[in-house]
Amino acid sequence: MTTAHASGTFAIAGDLPVVRLGYGAMQLTGPGIWGEPRDADEAIRVLRRALELGITFIDTADSYGPEVSERLIGEALAPYADDVVIATKAGLTRQGPDIWTQLGQPAYLRQQCEMSLRRLKLERIDLFQLHRIDANFPLEDQIGLLLELQQEGKIRHIGLSEVSVDEIEAARKIAPIATVQNLYNLAERRSEDVLDHCEREGIGFMPWFPLATGQLSKEDGPLAKASAEHGATPSQLALAWLLRRSPVMLPIPGTSRVAHLEQNTAAAEIELTDAEFDALTSSVG
């Protein structure tokens, strides 16, 4: 049976090992990342199957649903196996389907951390990420609050999402930053400089939208010919490219179906040659 272990491991902040191919739990919610899933039982099956497939790193956020994704994870997986790492995020509020509003007020971030702990059934969150830096509040206050939570033992490591190199370094002057989560995939590489910086600094890089939600997996898409030659699906090849791109890369493809989860996980065993990697890199983007 193919397992995620074939993707290798990465130690977040040097002390928190995870299997590199993880799972992103955003799509467990309803349409527009809003409300309950169409099939709650299948959502539970997906989460439990992820662990059976060797996935140890699951990423979510309080705003997915909102609250729905975290609650499902707690229901499906708690009490957690020793090697399972749950990452969540705070800093975006929801007013309806596909509507996201930044809120980095420190008191709000603290409240959301407390609520996430409750929903996820955790005593400490292994990786707590600022979903967006809110320009309405000083960065020192937002990161400073996360540092307080870390010092209180409520979170283990701090991560950032959708940030520039300058923002990473500004945050690192306030607190240690373990991971960065930016939009990145084979067809969208505007965060290339951020990825390179993370690699130099040993910071884990989580590419959200790793498959461009189907754009890269179309039968007539840019990966179709290469995937046919490789005996793999376009989605699997796109994930294999990410894993090959950098040792700090932690892809977190999401799905609400077990069959799709199993297909994505099979990408862990695909090993691209230098020539194949270079060909994909130059043919897409």
More confident residue, 235 or 101: 101
Cα separation, 149 vs 126, whole angstroms: 12
Cα separation, 142 vs 264, whole angstroms: 35
Q: What mean pLDDT is predicted for residues 198-222?
A: 80
Q: How does pLDDT run across 118-138, given as a tens digit for each residue?
A: 999 999 999 999 999 999 999
Q: How does pLDDT run across 81-114, given as a tens digit for each residue?
A: 999 999 999 999 999 999 999 999 999 999 999 9
Among residues 23, 64, 80, 184, which one is catalytic? 64
- Whole-number percent of the chain with pLDDT over 70: 95
Cα separation, 224 vs 283, whole angstroms: 11
Q: How does pLDDT run across 242-279, given as a tens digit for each residue?
A: 999 999 999 999 999 999 999 999 999 998 889 889 98
Determine contact, residues 89/120, Cβ cutoff 8 Å: no
Cα separation, 36 vs 28, whole angstroms: 8
- Helix pair 106-120, 139-151: axis angle to 10 deg: 40
pTM of the model: 0.94
Q: 100 - beta bridge partners? A: 94
Determine contact, residues 34/97, Cβ cutoff 8 Å: yes
User: Which tokens hold the place of 202?
Assistant: 């040993």
From 29-33, 86-90, 164-168, 230-234, the region with the lowest mean pLDDT: 230-234
Cα separation, 20 vs 278, whole angstroms: 21
Residue 2: which of 240, 244, 186 has the closest Cα? 240
Q: How does pLDDT run across 215-230, given as a tens digit for each residue?
A: 666 666 667 777 777 7
State the DSSP code for 204: E
Contacts of 63 (CB under 8 A, 6+ apart): 33, 89, 90, 92, 93, 94, 100, 131
| Amino acid at residue number 31 | P
Which secondary structure element, helix H or strand E, spans residue 90, and what is its range? strand 85-90
Determine contact, residues 189/180, Cβ cutoff 8 Å: no
Residue 64 annotated as catalytic: yes
Q: How does pLDDT run across 57-81, given as a tens digit for each residue?
A: 999 999 999 999 999 999 999 999 9
Cα separation, 19 vs 250, whole angstroms: 8
What are the two backbone dihedrals, phi and then psi, of residue 126, each rounded to the nearest 5 degrees?
A: -65, -40
